[in-house]
Amino acid sequence: MIKIPEKINIANLPTRIEKLEKLSEKLGGPNIYIKRDDQTGMETSGNKVRKLEFSVKEAIDRGCDTLITCGGIQSNHCRATAAIAAKLSLKSCLVLKGSSDEEVDGNLFLDKLLGAEIHFITPEEYKNRRMEIMKEIKSSMEEKGFKPYIIPEGASNGIGGFGYYKTMEEIIDQEKELGVHFDGIVVATGSGGTYSGLLLASKILNHSGRIYGVNVCDDEEYFKSKIHEILNESINYLNIDLSFSKDEIHIMDGYVGKGYALSRKEELEFISDFAKMEGIVVDPVYTGKAMYGLTEEIKKGSFSECKNLLFIHTGGIFGIFPGKKLFENL
């Protein structure tokens, strides 16, 4: 049996799987199920906590007392990192793409409430220098006697990927309980770690369902390269001979819209309609775009050969509040 790294236990697991009866009927395609990873915990809600369970365990094992990470101003990952740090009596430092002048709402409000030290940087700095900036903060803190541990954007690296390796194990168990097999598993892709963990586990555990990522930024080629890189990092933690081709990575490109964290009217309308239809809220940045993309692909017949599809709801509820004005005229 494959031995993966150890983790701490923070998330409320396993998360349940529900059938989206009304959406499935409306689209007339495959049966659509949803895995409620938006319910992994209140302050840590979403997919990031699963990855952080592995990242933070590694940090603790190395004797670290401070977590440094980065993300957008409404980063779910940064909020979850701040919450876990507070829970475990660690210090958190967040490098956020944005300005201190922005309204303190949603995840940013929670970051402050949870006691995180926040460093704002420009979009250009974030794109080109975020890791360098985090290393500078790490050096400064070491001079003060702290022992920092850097977690990359989204905890999307080799160790963080194991969060969704474990999720795939969970899904396989739930398939047996529900008496269904998922021909496809669909997830929003923003930094690649969730997708890489699912694909790694599906290959090792011989699950035949195809993993689909709906990219919410960048493009297909970027994510194929990024996910391939993370997969190789994860394999380095395992004592096995395993390799992946980029052809095994399936990205449903074309749903980035106006860009990361920017919304089109049709996406906002979908989020509103879906909430009224199924009583489930998806967010404009990740899950809203991904679920919108999935439904559009079903309409095009892309999943005509599939009987059952699983969409993983990776959270983002707090990120919807700063954009509430966008929904006013729908």
Active-site residues, by number, are 75
Task: Name the maximum alpha-carbon separation found in the chain.
Answer: 61
SS3 60: helix
- Residues 68 and 71: their CA atoms lie apart, in Å, by 11
Residues 6+ apart with CB under 8 A from 77: 48, 52, 69, 71, 153, 154, 155, 191
- Residues 47 and 80: their CA atoms lie apart, in Å, by 9
Residues 6+ apart with CB under 8 A from 81: 48, 52, 67, 69, 92, 94, 116, 151, 155
- Residues 72 and 89: their CA atoms lie apart, in Å, by 24
Residues 6+ apart with CB under 8 A from 90: 56, 59, 64, 65, 66, 67, 84
SS3 73: coil
Alpha helices in the chain (DSSP H): 21-27, 48-61, 76-87, 106-113, 123-143, 162-178, 193-204, 220-235, 265-278, 287-300
